[in-house]
Chain A
Amino acid sequence: MDTQFWVIQAFNGVSYGALLFLLASGLSLIFGVMRIVNLSHGSYFLLGGYVALSVIWSTGSWVLALPVAALVIAGVGLVMERIFLRPLGFDPLRQVLLTVGFAFLFQQGALDIWGGDPLNIDPPEPLTGSTVVGGIYLPRYRIFMISLAVVMGLLLWLAMEKTRMGAMVRAAVDDSEMARGVGIDTSRVSMFIFALGAFLAALGGAIGGAFFGVYPGLDFEILPLAFAVVIIGGMGSLAGAAAGSLIVGLADNFGKALFPEVSYFTLYAPMVLILALKPTGLFGRD
């Protein structure tokens, strides 16, 4: 185990974390604003990959596929929030079961439309292959994933800190009741956040499709990881989601490389400890 091993594993961990950030930042905001345990978030990720594939098949454009997939799934999320979740009121158990129901419906829908075979999204030519940095081969696609996550993270941060909508979201995270009291339309904030969360997850799915493929069952595989990120980082906090993604991405990679037999345990056990000791997460506000 020389330095090269550590550098490559760290790089892989960071790039995996970048993908997790896209998936989990939206979930974290949804959790923070609405306190909804959204178990269909993994489905948005999966459907994002599938829609991107369809766009590529029909237009041949990968660049077009990313925003289209994200926007289509944002629409799906929007409809789900407006028609089904909003009237449900605040009851975590019923929200969980309703979103699981949708996850199963989406799963079957995806199976009917795109079939059960594992599919792969081929990235465009410039993003394939590797770049050599200091004698180490770094896959260009992973570099792209990291850059995209950084750009999206900066955009989100600017939106949260500098815009009026962002201020409303932060207010709703801190104290939803008080926010309503001072005249913030929290229903509209929830709608916006839910659509944004679905948008980001679908974007992650379209990006991740070139990374671990698009196949039935991916939705429930990726979902617990997203929750690990949200819990470790702290819900409703962008910085927390970024830190949580990095931690989970690195822990997953090094865990699998160093002690494969307990690698998933080492991922979820910290989640339990944090929930037991500091339920607001490492970066969450009390």
Chain B
Amino acid sequence: MKNRRNILIVIAALLALAIVTPYSSSYVITLITHALVFAILAMSLDLLLGYTGLPSLGQAAFLGMGAYLTAILAADYGFGLGWSFWVVIVLGMLLGAATAAFFGLFAIRATGVYFLMITLALGMCVWGLAYRWNSVTGGDNGINLPPRPEFGISLANDLTFFYVVFGFFVATLATLYVIVRSPFGRSLEGIRERELRMRILGYNTWLHKYIAYIIAGAFGGLAGVLWAQMNGLVSPEDVILTTSVDALLMVVLGGPGTLVGGAIGALVVTFLRDYLSTLVHWWQYVLGGVYVLTILYLPGGLIGIPARVRNWRARGKETSSSISLKEGRP
């Protein structure tokens, strides 16, 4: 069972992460937490990109919705600082889903380049509001959050917060895995491969894509709530075009259509943006280089490398055996 083996590998990796992290420095813990938040965003995008074939250029909009909701509730109303943190989580996911339900009405009909453009425009709408609607969003300065929630456990402790985010990450991964393995997820894959055929078979492809978009929006909102608590500051910088493009890169770099690939991609990109940028001033060469090299040489993403190596070795054996056959011939 190849599939069961893969699941075991993922579980082992997650356990290792949960066990090793407490022994790292507080800086590394923050870095990993950051990566996990964006892994949730990347996996939500993977449902669209990898499974449904919808390259969304505006996923940051949902992150922004969740983040601004959290920040506004916490800073202006003092809500979500105790047990109500869980209410904010639910509200953030609902707002993300509602936003997606609204945006989807415009976006889902479009295909290919037009889908890219319309999601870009929707993302820019959210950015425009975040940037300019001073009375609500604090404009360019953004909103500073009060210290993280406390309910029996204190999330202000970075390690505790890591475990909370880790829990949400695992829950997201499991939920999305169940979704993509369900008949619904299979139909999404069918739409990705050939939408027309699915429509002829009687599937309402618009509705399938619409629902997938809403689910992605909900998890984008979740990532937003966690990001707001993680960063302590929400600003228009979080919803700029680059954030959406980074999310796309995470998925493509890790390997689209695998969920875990997005998480791996998130780890790499966060590492580059957060860690490498503190070490060297020319880190953007590396980031840009990763973009270019991924597109040119890694069509299946990082996660596809083992399979490629296996293929390559198998082909190597095949050719060597065929050569020996030829040599064996009289």
Residues of A within 8 A of B (CB): 35, 37, 39, 84, 88, 92-94, 96-98, 100-105, 107-108, 111-112, 220, 223-224, 227-228, 231, 260-265, 267-269, 271-273, 275-276, 279
Contacts of B132 in A (CB 8 A): 260-265
Within 8 Å CB of A107, what residues of B? 284, 288
Chain B residues whose CB sits within 8 angstroms of the CB of A268 once the complex forms: 121-122, 124-125, 128
B116 and A100 form a contact (CB under 8 A): no
How far, in whole Å, are A48 and B252 apart by their CA atoms in the complex?
Answer: 31
Question: Is the beta-carbon distance between B113 and A92 smaller than 8 angstroms?
Answer: yes
On whether A275 and B284 interact (CB within 8 A), knowing A97-B291, A268-B124, the answer reads no
- The complex places the Cα of A269 from the Cα of B122 at a distance, in Å, of 7
A227 / chain B contacts, CB cutoff of 8 Å: 117, 120-121
B29 within 8 A of A: no
**Do A265 and B128 touch across chains, with their CB atoms under 8 A apart?**
yes
The one of A35, A101, A112, A264 in contact with B131, judged by C-beta atoms closer than 8 angstroms, is: A264
Enumerate chain A residues within 8 angstroms of B225, measured Cβ to Cβ. none
- A113: shortest Cβ distance to chain B, in Å? 12
The minimal Cβ–Cβ distance linking B286 to chain A, given in whole angstroms, is 9
Complex contacts, A105 vs chain B, CB 8 Å: 284-285, 288-289, 292
Q: In the complex, which range does the number of interface residues on chain B fall in?
A: 35 or more
Per the 8 Å Cβ criterion, residues 232-253 of B in contact with A are: 240-242, 245, 248-249, 252
Interface of B is mostly: helix
Indicate the member of A39, A108, A263 with the most B CB atoms within 10 Å. Answer: A108
B57 proximity list for chain A (CB < 8 A): 96
Q: A220 touching B240 by the CB < 8 A rule?
A: yes
In the complex the two chains form, what is the Cα distance from A112 to B112 in whole Å? 36
Option from B105, B106, B133, B287 in Cβ contact (under 8 Å) with A104: B287
Does B292 lie within 8 Å of A272, measured CB to CB?
no
* B288 A102 Cβ-Cβ under 8 A: yes
Inter-chain CA distance A224–B291, complex, in Å, is: 20
Contact check, A262 vs B128: say whether CB atoms are below 8 A apart: yes
Interface assignment of B134: CB less than 8 Å from any CB of chain A = yes
Q: List 13 A-B contacts (CB under 8 A).
A: A88-B295, A98-B291, A98-B296, A103-B288, A104-B288, A105-B292, A107-B284, A108-B285, A228-B124, A231-B121, A272-B122, A276-B110, A279-B114
**Known A265-B129, A272-B122; contact A93-B284, beta-carbon cutoff 8 A:** no
Q: Assess the B128–A275 pair: CB atoms within 8 A.
A: no
15 more CB-based (< 8 A) A-B contacts, given A88-B296, A98-B292, A228-B121: A37-B117, A92-B55, A93-B248, A100-B249, A101-B291, A224-B120, A227-B117, A261-B134, A261-B135, A265-B125, A267-B128, A268-B124, A272-B106, A272-B121, A276-B118
Q: Mark B38-68, 1 if CB is under 8 A from A, else 0.
A: 0000000000010000010100000000000
- Give the contacting residue for A101; candidates B55, B124, B134, B289; CB below 8 A: B289
B290 in contact (CB, < 8 A):
yes
- CB of B109 within 8 Å of the partner chain: yes
A272-B287 Cα distance, complex, nearest whole Å: 30
Q: 10 smallest A-B Cβ distances: which pairs? A: A264-B128, A101-B291, A104-B288, A108-B284, A105-B288, A101-B292, A276-B106, A271-B121, A275-B118, A268-B124
- A104 touching B125, Cβ below 8 Å: no
Rounded to whole angstroms, the CA-CA distance of A94 and B131 in the bound complex is 29
Specify which chain A residues have a CB less than 8 angstroms from the CB of B144 in the assembled complex: none
B292: chain A residues within 8 A (beta carbon): 84, 98, 101-102, 105
Whether B127 is near chain A, meaning CB under 8 Å from some CB there, is yes
CB nearest to A270 among chain B residues: B121
Shortest CB-to-CB span from A243 to chain B, Å, is 18
B291 x A263 contact (CB < 8 A): no
> Given that A97-B291, A98-B291, A269-B125 are contacting pairs, would A37 and B116 also be in contact in the complex, using a CB cutoff of 8 Å?
yes
User: Across the two chains, which residue of chain B brings its CB closest to A259?
Assistant: B132
Report which of A88, A100, A264 forms a contact with B245, defined as CB distance below 8 A.
A100
Given A101-B291, A261-B132, A93 contacting B49 (CB threshold 8 A): yes
Bound complex: CA A107 to CA B252 (Å): 22
Say yes or no: B110 contacts A275, CB within 8 Å: yes
Cα A207 to Cα B13 with chains together (Å) = 54
- Distance (whole angstroms) from the CB of B192 to the closest CB of chain A: 12
Nearest chain A CB to B132 CB, angstrom units:
5
Q: Report the separation of the CA atoms of residues A273 and B289 in the bound assembly, to the nearest whole angstrom.
A: 35
User: Could you say which of A35, A97, A108, A265 contacts B294, with CB atoms under 8 Å apart?
Assistant: A97
**Complex: how many Å from CA A224 to CA B287?**
21
What chain A residues lie within 8 Å of B240 (beta carbons)? 220
Taking the nearest CB of chain A, how far is it from the CB of B218, in angstroms? 21
Residues of B within 8 A of A101 (CB): 287-292, 295
Q: In the docked arrangement, what's the CA distance between A101 and B298, Å? A: 14
Q: Could you tell me if B245 and A275 are in contact, using CB atoms closer than 8 angstroms?
A: no
The CA-CA distance from A10 to B187 in the complex, in Å, is 52
- The reply on B282 being an interface residue by CB < 8 A is yes
Query: Once the chains are docked, how many angstroms separate the CA of A264 from the CA of B112?
Result: 25
Give the residues in chain B near A228, CB-CB below 8 Å: 121, 124
A268–B128 Cα gap in the complex (Å)?
A: 8
A96 to chain B, nearest CB (A): 6
Report B-chain residues with C-beta under 8 Å of the C-beta of A97: 245, 248-249, 252, 291, 294-295
